[in-house]
Structure formats: structure tokens, C-alpha cells
Amino acid sequence: MDEYKLKRKILCIDLKSFYASVECALLGLDPFKTPLVVADDSRGGGGIVLAVSPYLKSKGVPSRCRIYELPTDLGIMIQKPQMHTYLTYSTEVIKVYLEFISEQDLYVYSIDEAFLDVTEYLTYYQKNDYELAKEILKRIHDKLDLFATCGIGENMLMAKLALDIESKKSPDFIAKWTYEDIPHKLWPVAPLSEMWSIGVNMQRRLNQMGFWTIGDIANADVKRLKKQFGILGEELYYHTHGIDMSLIQDKGKMSVVSKSYGMGQTLFKDYYRKDIYQIILEMTDEISRRLRLHKKHAKVIHFGVAYSKLYGGGFHRQLGLTSHTSSPKVIFETCKSIFETHYEDLPIRHVHISVSSLMDNTIYQPNLFEDLDETYREFQLGVAMDEIKMRFGKNSINRASSELESSTIKARNKMIGGHHG
């Protein structure tokens, strides 16, 4: 596996209890001593708590709960959310990062989390990665009165694992992992959902297979994992060994330079597991068609669902493939794997799928284990269907499953830009 081991110096920085810490900063209060939550109490006791201060976390108050579930004996302050203010603070933190590194070496993961590749800057600053991380965290606190935690690793995944598993318990909120640390720092982790990318549903399925610690997965047969979870299983196996080939510089190109192809669909009734696969299949067919028409292959698949308003929430995840593809089968199986991992058996009202990290299909590099004959036949069949649709209309040829009640493809094909003409 050594050939897959990147040797970068990656920082993963997370702003500690971000919304609540911003509120404390605005009020001139110490978040480690202040019982503060961010929530809209005008919505009553059923309102959702968006964030709690580190002080309340230390008292066992969960970061996500309802207002009525908060303890009544801690003198809790409730601050109404100020999303515009939080975005302003997030922008100021990004400016701090850019004082130390260039934009191409920064990947903003979320409003309160970012990855920094500092590999090429250590000689310039005459510091090691730990010392530079400490200086960046100090700068954030000095300028904005916010506290941050940091994981340091030899790739993005390892930095994220160091952040999630160890940094928050460290006295200075910094933890550094190397490949040598994986067996004794990652493999003992249990329950499995403590590891980033393993949700509750996947944990349950892994437990049923006899896997209870991350080490159980790392020492398993990768073929067994792939059979059970598809591409996601193979990815998980490598992740348990600390292996991740993602580069921040590529992600920067993805978000700024490369185009993406995607589509979302709002459903007119509640869909559950048994029917949603038909929707996913039809959407991946359409995205594959766009890739073929533009002579592109994609390497990153994005998939998400939103639940009905009665329940709220949903999820959105992305997965990088081992090679570029325009195959509807591969895109569908990837979306299916993400869905099976994160779906909570709630009614679905919106589905979104997109693909990114594009390359021209004229320079396609196949996977070593790919059946090229099957891939070519699938591609040619797709091209033939594209030609028929171009000549005779979108509904001139569809899968037989388009006759199912759960299908929406015929109705959508009569729309213009997602709306009835």
C-alpha cells in the first residue's frame, strides 16, 4: 500500500462550537465558562438548538437538541441565530488562513472547517507543521476571539481523523497523526461511527458482519467489504489504513475552474427506500447523457436528499472514485452506496445528484480492474439512445421501468428547464 501513501503536511482546522463562540465573542464572554445556546426561542420549546457553548458541552448538553430538552438548572442564555454575522466571521477566518498560505492550498470544507496544505511553506516560515498550526490558531483567537482545534496529518483524511478523534481532547487543541500512528490511534476506535464517513446505518451493517472496531475493518478482506458496500466498501478499507489520495489543489480546481453537471428533483409525494431507487436511476441516466454529449468523464459524485418538511433535515455527501467515468451504472451504484449509508428511513421530498472533477473523455484512463468491453458496450448503447432521443424526442426511448408508478421521467421530459411549458 505504500504507493498510495501521500506524504503531505495537511492541517484540518475547525472553529470550536462556532455559532455559540461567535455569540460569546460579540458579548465579550468566555465560551468555556458561559452557558449559552444558539436557538430561536420564538418558535417555542420545539425549536431546534443550532449550537451550544463548550461549557455546556462539558456538562453533557448535546450540540443538537430541542429547546425543551435543555436543562433548566444551568442558567442557560439563548441567543437568536445571526447567520449573516456567522458568515462574516467565517470570511474573516479565511482571510487569516490566506495570510499564511495561497488560495490554491486552501480548501474550505464548511462554514467552520477548512483544510490547509502547508507542505511548501514550512521552510519559508522556519517552522514545523505543529508550530505553524499553533501560530494560525493563535492568530484566529487574537483577531476574532474565537477558539479553534486542529488535526495534522499526511493527507486530508488523516488530518480530519486527528481533528475528530484526538485534537478536542488535547490541552492545546492540536493533534498530529502519521501513518505509523494509525494502528494504535485509529484501529482501537469504537463504536465505528466515531470515525468520519461511517454513519449509524453503516455501523449497524458492519456490526452485523462482525466488525466492532476500526481495526476489525482494516484487517478484513477488502473483497468482502466491496461485495457488501460496493465502491464505498473499498474506499472504507483504505480509509481504515489512513490512505486518501485527495489533494487540496485538485479540490480547489474543482470548485473554481472545473464545471460540474447535476440536477435536483422535488418530488410531489413522499418517497421511501423501495421507490427512490427508480428516481436515482433516472437522474443518473440523465447526468450520464450530459457527460456523453459534452465528451466528459467525472471523478467525484455528489448525492443528497432532503426529507419532508414534517421531519426536516437530510444529508449531502460526495465520494471520489478511483478513476474518471461517465458510466450510469457506476454513478448509480455510487449514489446508492451513499444513500444506503446515510438514509434514516424518513419520507424523501427532494433528491440532488451532481458530478464534478471533469476531464475530456478523449484522454480517458481506465481503472486497472475495469472490464473495458462492458464499459465500451455500455457507452455505445448510451450514444445510440442519445441519437434516438435527439431525432425523435426525449420520451422516444426510456427504460422499461419508466412505466412504474414511482417513475417521473416521462413527466419531467415534457418539462422545460424543470417547469411545465
- Residues with a known catalytic role: 113
Listing DSSP states for 265-303 in one string gives EEEEEEE-HHHHHHHHHHHHHHHHHHHHHTTEEEEEEEE
Listed residue (79, 96, 83, 108) closest to 20, CA to CA:
79
CB 117 within 8 A of CB 13: no
**CB 133, CB 174: distance < 8 Å:** yes
Q: How far apart are CA 40 and CA 48, in angstroms?
A: 7
Residue that is written with C-alpha cell 420545539 in the block: 46
| CA distance linking residue 175 with residue 169, whole number of Å | 9
Residues pairing with 265 in the sheet: 351
d(CA 97, CA 93): 7
**Which triple of cell numbers denotes residue 70?**
435543555
**Roughly what angle, to the nearest 10 degrees, separates helices 328-342 and 222-229?**
90
Spatial distance between the Cα atoms of 300 and 304, rounded to a whole number of angstroms? 13
Q: Which three cell numbers stand for residue 421?
A: 411549458
Helix (H) or strand (E) holding 360: strand 348-360
